[in-house]
């Protein structure tokens, strides 16, 4: 049993636990026994997905999340301008064929995604018994504080030669020291036992970035940060930068946002889009807040990942994923821009990853990608986002 702080235990008193009519979720009506009036100031949940769904229905914060989405446009625009001005000369073109960057994009989480993240963060605080982590999901300030990636940027690498990617680090360091980029955390994700030659960045370059960040933080009286290095069993690799987008010149409604910059190879990113769905299903998480458009993908994957003819399928699928990421890493651009060169957009097959007989053909990433594609189209047609 888990004692919940007053924000949660008093929910019933402020009439927030009544299921709301919510067009965003578009889910069949369900019974949620955990949402019945609480007899005590405590509650227990056995499923994180069940708790997330309960919280999504319990809190009518749709309009608030729409506002949070809308008001992030100023911070997103400034981040886009900052990165473009600094990194534009590093984008690969015919005139600059060895540039280390393929594309730079920015985005703002949709209102639905913000709601989902809020429910997830609150669910984690409740189930981990972290009283200090519980927050008011109807507070714009609290939402911006706990959701660290409402604004996001993705730098897709073109030339992954480390002498070229080091130029990206040089520019990021300049931005930090000039006060144009406020980095709060740096995480390097990579496969286990990765040969250093396949790293996107040299360790010395990452150390230089950390040192620059800490030099800037020291001036501001902030505690130093350390490089977080995490070996992913799935084989995913990327560099993630947590950033603070606060600016004293912003209006209050536009201020207080946090963001994330992802630096990743093009082919790794393409596989990640499909693999992320598989990960969510395997760990009992919803796709797009449980939107009905993704029910076919969820049903299909669940059916075949539990194929009794493959008793070690759970572990073997992780191994397939790990090999697929490494396959993608090795086929990524060779560092010479050529618009005439046709890119191989297929994903690693079971055969290419030497997993024949261990993975059913229905779970080949290319098959899953096709199903995802059609679900995405259905989502675009049926999603009722107002922003």
The 3 state secondary structure assigned to the chain is CEECCHHHHCHHHHCCCCCCCCCCCCCCCCCCHHHCCCCCCEECCCCHHHHHHHHHHHCCCHHHHHHHHHCCHHHHHHHHHHHHHHHHHHECCCCCCCCCEEEEEEEECCHHHHHHHHHHHHHHHHHCCCHHHCCCCCCHHHHHHHCCCCEEEEEEECCCCHHHHHHHHHHHHHHHHCCCCCEEEEEEEEECCCCHHHCCCCHHHHHHHHHHHHHHHHHCCCCCCCEEEEEECCCCCEEEEEEECCCCCCCHHHCCCEEEEEEEEHHHHHHHHHHHHHHHHHCCCCCHHHCHHHHHHHHHHHHHHCCCCCCCHHHHHHHHHHHHHHHHHHHCCCCCCCCCCCCCCCCCCCCCCCCCCCCCHHHCHHHHHHHHHHHHHHHHHHCCCCC
pLDDT at 289: 76
* Partners of residue 104 on adjacent β-strands: 155
For residue 3, pLDDT over 80 is answered with: no
Distance of CA 180 to the CA centre of its chain: 24
What is the average per-residue pLDDT within 190-199? 91
**How far is it, in rounded angstroms, from Cα 2 to Cα 43?**
6
Token digits for 40?
Answer: 């005590």
For residue 22, pLDDT over 60 is answered with: no
For residue 27, pLDDT over 80 is answered with: no
Q: 151-157 and 258-265 as β-strands: parallel, antiparallel, unpaired?
A: parallel
For residue 4, pLDDT over 90 is answered with: no
**How far is it, in rounded angstroms, from Cα 297 to Cα 346?**
19
More confident residue, 124 or 387: 124
pLDDT at 345: 82
Token digits for 37?
Answer: 């009036």
Per-residue pLDDT tens digits for 318-349? 999 999 999 999 987 766 666 656 666 899 99
pLDDT at 35: 32
> What end-to-end distance do the CA atoms of the chain give, in Å?
39
Sorted by sequence, the CB contacts under 8 Å of residue 162 that are 6+ apart come out as 199, 200, 201, 202, 205
* Partners of residue 231 on adjacent β-strands: 190
Q: 183-191 and 151-157 as β-strands: parallel, antiparallel, unpaired?
A: unpaired
- pTM for the model stands at 0.82
Distances (CA, A) of 23 to 19, 117, 323: 12, 18, 40
Contact 260, 241 (CB under 8 A): yes
Sorted by sequence, the CB contacts under 8 Å of residue 195 that are 6+ apart come out as none
pLDDT at 1: 38
Per-residue pLDDT tens digits for 219-264? 999 999 999 999 998 999 999 999 999 999 999 999 999 999 999 9
């Amino acid at each position: 049993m888990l004692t919940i702080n007053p924000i949660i235990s008093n929910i019933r008193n402020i009439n927030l636990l009544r299921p709301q009519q919510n067009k965003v979720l578009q889910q069949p009506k369900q019974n949620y026994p955990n949402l019945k009036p609480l007899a005590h100031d405590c509650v227990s949940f056995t499923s994180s997905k069940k708790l997330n769904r309960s919280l999504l229905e319990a809190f009518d914060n749709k309009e608030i999340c729409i506002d949070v989405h809308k008001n992030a446009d100023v911070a997103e625009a400034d981040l886009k301008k900052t990165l473009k001005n600094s990194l534009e000369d590093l984008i690969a073109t015919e005139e600059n064929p060895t540039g280390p960057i393929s594309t730079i994009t920015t985005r703002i989480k949709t209102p639905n995604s913000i709601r989902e993240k809020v429910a997830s963060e609150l669910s984690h605080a409740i189930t981990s018994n972290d009283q200090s982590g519980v927050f008011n999901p109807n507070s714009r300030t609290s939402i911006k504080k706990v959701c660290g990636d409402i604004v996001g940027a993705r730098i897709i690498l073109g030339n992954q030669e480390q002498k070229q990617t080091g130029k990206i680090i040089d520019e990021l360091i300049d931005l930090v020291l000039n006060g144009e980029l406020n980095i709060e955390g740096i995480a390097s994700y990579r496969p286990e036992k990765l040969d250093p030659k396949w790293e996107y960045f040299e360790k010395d370059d990452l150390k230089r970035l950390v040192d620059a960040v800490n030099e800037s933080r020291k001036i501001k009286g902030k505690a130093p940060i350390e490089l977080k290095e995490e070996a992913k069993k799935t084989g995913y690799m990327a560099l993630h930068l947590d950033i603070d987008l606060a600016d004293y010149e912003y209006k209050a409604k536009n201020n207080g946002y946090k963001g994330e910059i992802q630096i990743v190879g093009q082919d790794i990113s393409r596989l990640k889009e499909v693999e992320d769905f598989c990960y969510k299903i395997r760990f009992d998480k919803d796709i797009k807040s449980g939107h009905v458009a993704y029910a076919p993908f969820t049903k299909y994957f669940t059916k075949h990942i539990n194929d009794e003819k493959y008793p070690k399928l759970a572990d073997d699928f992780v191994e397939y994923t790990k090999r697929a990421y490494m396959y993608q890493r090795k086929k990524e651009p060779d560092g010479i821009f050529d618009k005439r060169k046709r890119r191989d957009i297929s994903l690693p097959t079971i055969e290419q990853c030497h997993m024949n007989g261990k993975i059913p053909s229905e779970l080949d990433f290319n098959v899953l990608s096709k199903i995802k594609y059609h679900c995405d189209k259905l989502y675009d047609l049926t999603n009722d986002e107002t922003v």
